[in-house]
Chains A and B, each alone.
Chain A
Amino acid sequence: QVLLVESGGGLVRPGGSLRLSCATAGFTFSDYYMSWIRQAPGKGLEWISYISGSGSSIFYADSVKGRFTVSRDDVTRTVYLQLSSLRVEDTAVYYCARDRVGATFDHWGPGTLVTVSS
């Protein structure tokens, strides 16, 4: 059974930083790309980053490029999203998803809420 569970969300001031984690189980972790997707309150889904199974291919949406950093640890089967220079508009539920490539997110975690506010 594929399981994804995000953690690390919380309240942070504008300009602050936060690291999100996504713990996984139930599949061969290194075989899969992993993506981060967010949903701001009252808004739609927004893809923000992916990392390949080897970690060699990483891409970001323009809205977070230069501020967010994705990484993965195959030993702990965890994918991370480092959020820096946070803005009020980064407030959202952040989901990690298993990425079968080709915009196919076949398993999602329950999400973790990040609130950026002074």
Chain B
Amino acid sequence: QSALTQPHSVSGSPGQSVTISCTGTSSDVGGYNSVSWYQHHPGKTPKLIIYDVDKRPSGVPDRFSGSKSGNTASLTISGLQDEDEADYYCCSYERRYTYIFGTGTKVTVL
């Protein structure tokens, strides 16, 4: 039950796009369309920004988008803004009726 693999950090300038990958196996990411993404500003409560691979909750800007190919899910932030600087975590349902989070990615806005 190891964590899903994410890059430790990504960075971009305001207005640019960044993509965060989340790699698992056929027992989790690859086997189910139950992948979600969370934005976490340190000291605050994590916020759901993508669920079911590519769905956005009400109120989440459309510059956040999700996708999946095989065992890898991705989160893309288009038109990067200063307030997007945060930690981002993916999460997937896995075969043993449990959930597993990714290792987390720190997004830095240059």
Contacts and interface: CB of A to CB of B under 8 A. Distances in A.
Contacts of B1: 61-63
Contacts of B69: none
B46 A103 contact: no
Interface string A93-115: 00100001011111011110000
A45 B89 contact: yes
B91 A95 contact: no
Interface in A50-95: 50, 57, 59-63, 95
Interface of A: 35, 37, 44-47, 50, 57, 59-63, 95, 100, 102-106, 108-111
30 contacts: A44-B87, A44-B102, A44-B103, A45-B38, A45-B40, A46-B3, A46-B101, A47-B91, A47-B98, A47-B100, A47-B101, A59-B97, A59-B98, A60-B98, A61-B98, A63-B1, A102-B32, A102-B36, A102-B93, A103-B51, A103-B99, A104-B36, A104-B51, A104-B52, A105-B36, A105-B46, A106-B48, A106-B51, A108-B47, A110-B45
